[in-house]
Amino acid sequence: MAVKNIAPPPYLAGLVRNIWFTDFKMPNDHYQSIRILANGSPGLIFQHAEGHSAVKGAGGNLLPLAFIYGQSTVPCVNQMIKDAIVCGFEFYPSALKNIFGIDAAILTDALVELEHLLSKEIIDQLINCPNIYEVIQLLCVTLAKQSASFPFSTFVEESILLITQSAPQLSPAALPQYFHISQRQFQRKFKERIGVCPETYIRITKFQQSIHWLQNKKFKKIGDISYALGYTDQAYFNREFKFFSGYTPKEFMKVLAKQQLFYRTPEHTVIPLRILTD
């Protein structure tokens, strides 16, 4: 069992950042805890075990076979309860608005069944695909057709790029000045397309940057990371890290040292980490 990553087709450029899939096999203890971290992006999951859900959500209910999830601002723990085929599409931050035309804030820390955004028939088609590559092809074509009517927002896309490049030094209040619009208009448009306010998105970006440095051992001690990312002190950094992951940085490193199904090797860590096996 291994996660395989494939590049999205060119016609989904700017919408889908990565596609992954795995043939999940249950460990001997009959379930596997999956921790979901805040990673700054929405996405799509398709999973099934002979046509039935193989994942329980944090509340203990079975998750839909196919669903769209929004921004995560707090961690949660799901459970894999059966051997299953699992496929994920990691979207770019503004993709919910660009693909489905919906206000992304509606799905922050929430999910919606794919059939409610498309049609019930799509689920039957996905289950009956002869292999996972046909599943991916069907989803790619469907997402491309769905997105044709919804244009990108240039200043939101550019603001995301600015945050990604300069999160430790960037003040949220300075962002509207780059685009010559009011603070109120910028906040409203940003949250509508990204799902969270600029301040929260910057916090998540800094959290994910700290994961990147922890994974790649960029610093000799954790305090160096908190200083480089502009936190007032290491205690504040530890609180922020635990808020978005459920772990302190030291606890996170111990978990990461275990075998991780969704771990990215250093050359792939530019894609934010969303899933950990507890």
pLDDT of residue 24: 84
Please identify which residue in the block is written with the tokens 């092809």: 137
CA 71/CA 75 separation, integer angstroms: 11
- 61 with 112, same domain: the answer is yes
Report yes or no on 122 lying in a domain: yes
Measure the CA angle with vertex 174, ends 172 and 179; round to 5°: 110
- From 93, 119, 147, the end of a domain falls on 147
- From 106, 126, 147, the end of a domain falls on 147
Given a cut of 60, whether residue 210 has pLDDT beyond it is yes
- 99 with 65, same domain: the answer is yes
- 18 with 143, same domain: the answer is yes
pLDDT of residue 76: 93
What the block records as the tokens of 245 is 């992951």
H-helix or E-strand spanning residue 262: none
Please write the tens of the pLDDT for every residue from 182-203: 999 999 999 999 999 999 999 9
DSSP 144-176: HHHHTT----HHHHHHHHHHHHHTTT--GGGHH
DSSP strand pairing (76-80 vs 111-113): unpaired
Among the listed residues 173, 150, 122, the one whose alpha carbon sits nearest the alpha carbon of residue 14: 150
- From 91, 125, 147, the end of a domain falls on 147
Residue 17: give its domain's CATH number.
Answer: 2.60.120
Per-residue b/e over 151-165, b at no fewer than 16 CB within 10 Å? eebebbeebbeebbe
Q: What is the pTM of this model?
A: 0.92
* Across 108-131, average pLDDT: 95
Q: Residue 30: which pLDDT band, with cuts at 50, 70 and 90?
A: confident
In order of 115, 131, 249, the CA distances from 22 in angstroms are: 22, 12, 28
Tally of structural domains, the chain: 2
H-helix or E-strand spanning residue 55: strand 55-56
Residues of the domain holding 235:
154-245
Please write the tens of the pLDDT for every residue from 213-250: 888 776 778 889 998 898 988 999 999 999 999 999 99
- 82 with 137, same domain: the answer is yes
Percent of residues, the chain, with pLDDT higher than 90: 65
Residues 6+ apart with CB under 8 A from 37: 72, 75, 211, 244, 245, 246, 273, 274, 275, 276
Please write the tens of the pLDDT for every residue from 244-273: 999 999 999 888 887 666 655 555 545 688
